[in-house]
Amino acid sequence: MKNLILFNPHPNVILFLVFAVLLSCGQTNEKKQDEKRPEIEQPEKPACEVEKSVSTLKNSLLAPSENLKYTALKLHELAESHDHDRISEQAKSMAEESIKLMNASAYLNTSYLDSLIRYSTQCAVLANGLQAHNRSMGKPKLKGTVSQLESIAESVSNYTERKVKISQDACLSNKEMLENEIRLYFTTIKLGITSIESSLGSHCEDCTTKEVAFYENLMKTFREALIKAPTNQYKTVSRTLADIEHTFHELSSMHDDEAHHTMETLERQMDRFEDELLDITGRSEI
């Protein structure tokens, strides 16, 4: 009979085997728990339907800002002269640069946009009024208007250079971009109507026609922006905008004493337009 050889493992070997079995069981349980645990959904990044790089956005703000400041200085020099053609030319340039500033501002967030709406719309309306009416203005009023434009241009320059901090590329949805454009363009047109109404008694030939022309062009830009709205809402606001454009066109060929009734019609149309735009933006006010 052969001798049986008994295997007496070392205690350390037994401990190692027990630890390996326990570790294996633990990993199996963790794996099962992981399989049961629902996956946490990561928030989706916003779609960049409208984009602009940091450098391009900065430059598109600084360029009109500096042009406004430079043109305001030219107007200051011209305010002492009787060269109304050059005054009209420089004032028209300021109104156009204000629109460029608006278009760039539409890419910014609300904290910056609120201030730039105020600056750019006031500058556009005031400069456009100056280019249309400077021939009929007395010297004190002309100088006062130029002084206001200088002050706004200085504020714009300081704000864009020192306050506006842009560290990331602009990334907006079409809805966000449209909301910003609505605020900019609607505010400008509404201020423009106030400006036109205040100058109706100036008895200046073709002044109203010249002032209205600027807003007729702006409404074309506004219509292009509204294309980003949902189709059913676009149809509604497009019809109302067409009514406003028609009324502006009528206004441009009227005598002052005939225009007051038309202004009342225009104000009612603008109230309806505002309600329709608020439906698009979901805001309580523009």
Q: What CA–CA distance (Å, rounded) separates 130 from 133?
A: 5
pLDDT score for 205 = 75
**Range 211-233 average pLDDT:** 96
Q: For the beta carbon of residue 57, count every other beta carbon within 10 angstroms.
A: 20
E strands of the chain, at which residues?
50-52, 170-172
Confidence of residue 40 (pLDDT cuts 50, 70, 90): low
Name the DSSP letter for residue 253: T
| Token pair recorded at residue 242 | 């067409």
pLDDT score for 261 = 87
* Length of the chain, in residues: 286
pLDDT score for 252 = 82
Q: Output phi, psi for 272, to 5 deg.
A: -65, -40
What are the tens digits of pLDDT across the range 211-221? 999 999 999 99
Share above pLDDT 90 across residues of the chain, in percent, rounded to a whole number: 71
- For residues 48 and 190, the model is more confident at 190
Lowest mean pLDDT among 110-124, 194-208, 225-239: 194-208
Burial string for 223-254 (b: 16+ CB within 10 Å, else e) reads bebbebbeeeebebbeebbeebbebbeebbeb
pLDDT score for 82 = 84
pLDDT score for 15 = 61
Sign of CA dihedral 232, 236, 241, 246: positive
pLDDT score for 5 = 46
Confidence of residue 259 (pLDDT cuts 50, 70, 90): confident
Share above pLDDT 70 across residues of the chain, in percent, rounded to a whole number: 82
Model confidence at 34: pLDDT above 90 = no
pLDDT score for 1 = 47
Q: What CA–CA distance (Å, rounded) separates 130 from 134?
A: 5
Lowest mean pLDDT among 83-92, 223-232, 258-267: 258-267
Question: pTM value?
Answer: 0.83
What are the tens digits of pLDDT across the range 150-176? 999 999 999 999 999 999 999 999 999
Q: What CA–CA distance (Å, rounded) separates 286 from 277?
A: 8
- For residues 251 and 19, the model is more confident at 251
Given a contact cutoff of 8 angstroms between Cβ atoms, the answer to whether 168 and 55 are in contact is no
State the amino acid at position 47 in one-letter form.
A
- For residues 242 and 253, the model is more confident at 242
Model confidence at 202: pLDDT above 80 = no
At CB < 8 A and 24+ separation, what contacts does 99-104 make? 99/124, 99/218, 99/221, 100/60, 100/63, 100/64, 100/67, 101/61, 101/64, 101/65, 101/68, 101/156, 102/184, 102/185, 102/188, 103/60, 104/57, 104/60, 104/61, 104/64
Q: What CA–CA distance (Å, rounded) separates 172 from 75?
A: 37
Model confidence at 94: pLDDT above 70 = yes
What are the tens digits of pLDDT across the range 173-193? 999 999 999 999 999 999 999
pLDDT score for 2 = 46
Sign of CA dihedral 126, 131, 135, 140: positive
